[in-house]
């Protein structure tokens, strides 16, 4: 009978621990949704940081490949945007005419 009571106590304690963990998970999801609504950029940075740290500890090779792909994408997008030079005007009253139209 003593073993049965010990087993029953352990099962009840584990059920309580599981219920507390589920409640913490629900609270975390609600907090994350609220944070995403109020500050989406910071929340995405937080999620990406956690993902990268988890990936770094679980599979470092995949992290290195993922960082390489992201760096390559940044370089390609940066080179693509450089092809359109910005026009600088020194004075609001300055007019620019096309060649030959002048």
Q: Write the burial class of residue 89 (CB in 10 Å: 0-12 exposed, 13-18 middle, 19+ buried).
A: exposed
Domain ranges, residue 74: 40-83
What does the pLDDT read at residue 38?
95
Domain count, the chain: 2
52 and 62: one domain?
Answer: yes
Per-residue pLDDT of the chain (102 residues), as tens digits, is: 899 999 999 999 999 999 999 999 999 999 999 999 999 999 999 998 898 888 889 888 988 898 899 899 989 888 777 665 566 666 666 555 555 554
Residue 66 lies in a domain: yes
Residue 93 lies in a domain: no
What does the pLDDT read at residue 55?
84
34 and 49: one domain?
Answer: no
| Relative orientation angle of helices 40-58 and 2-38, to the nearest 10 degrees | 130
What does the pLDDT read at residue 84?
59
23 and 56: one domain?
Answer: no
Residue 97 lies in a domain: no
Tokens of 71: 């760096």
What does the pLDDT read at residue 79?
78
């Amino acid at each position: 009978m003593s073993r049965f009571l010990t087993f029953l106590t352990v099962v009840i304690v584990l059920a309580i621990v599981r219920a507390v963990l589920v409640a913490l998970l629900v609270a975390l999801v609600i907090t994350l949704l609220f944070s995403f609504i109020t500050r989406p950029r910071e929340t995405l940075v937080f999620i990406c940081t956690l993902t990268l740290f988890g990936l770094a500890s679980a599979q470092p090779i995949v992290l290195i490949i993922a960082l390489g792909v992201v760096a390559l994408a940044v370089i390609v997008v940066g080179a693509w945007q450089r092809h359109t030079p910005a026009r600088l005007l020194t004075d609001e009253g300055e007019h620019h005419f096309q060649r030959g139209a002048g």
